[in-house]
């Protein structure tokens, strides 16, 4: 774990907003093609804003940490702001990732974007 930032370790050891959400307004599950790890994102939407994001991730420490960090940060964001969140911004937010773990930040960004797309599909 020495190669991980304090932020990664903190979110990995104390994950925020992990768990299942009852009747989410939007949800998506994505699989990382590089390693096969999986993340499910569930969203509660209030108007055009994210009221709550919860997640279930089966993956490595950076996958857990980026899930947790993202769920904490997008609360209160507009859907457009959340859609614009890049994997690079997430990786930067958690204090950077070792080179061979950069792909791990993909899950949170992709799952969030797809969960918003699911919400938009449901609400027309
Ligand atoms: S090794 Fe799979 S997401 Fe990190």
Identify the architecture of domain 6-123 in CATH: Alpha-Beta Complex (3.90)
- The model's pTM is 0.95
Which portions of the chain are predicted below pLDDT 50?
1
Active-site residues: which are they? 35, 104
For atom 4 of ligand 1, which residue has the closest CA?
104
* Pocket of ligand 1 contains residue 62 by CB under 6 Å: yes
* Pocket of ligand 1 contains residue 35 by CB under 6 Å: yes
User: What is the 123 CA–ligand 1 centroid distance (Å)?
Assistant: 32
Domain extents for the chain? 6-123
Coil, helix or strand at residue 29 = strand
* Pocket of ligand 1 contains residue 32 by CB under 6 Å: yes
pLDDT digits (tens, 9 = 90+) for 47-71: 999 999 999 999 999 999 999 999 9
* 3-state per-residue secondary structure call for 32-50: CCCCCCEEEEEEEEECCEE
Instruction: Give the containing element (helix H, strand E) for 67.
Output: helix 61-73
pLDDT given at position 2: 52
pLDDT given at position 1: 47
């Amino acid at each position: 774990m020495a190669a991980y930032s304090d932020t990664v370790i903190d979110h990995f050891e104390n994950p925020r907003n992990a768990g299942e959400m009852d009747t989410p307004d939007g949800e998506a599950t994505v699989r990382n093609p590089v390693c096969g790890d999986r993340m499910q994102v569930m969203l509660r939407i209030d108007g055009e804003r994210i009221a709550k994001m919860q997640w279930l991730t089966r993956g490595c420490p950076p996958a857990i940490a980026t899930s947790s960090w993202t769920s904490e940060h997008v609360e209160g964001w507009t859907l457009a702001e959340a859609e614009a969140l890049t994997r690079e911004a997430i990786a930067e937010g958690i204090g950077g990732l070792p080179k061979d773990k950069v792909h791990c930040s993909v899950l949170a960004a992709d799952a969030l974007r797809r969960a918003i797309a699911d919400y938009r599909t449901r609400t027309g």
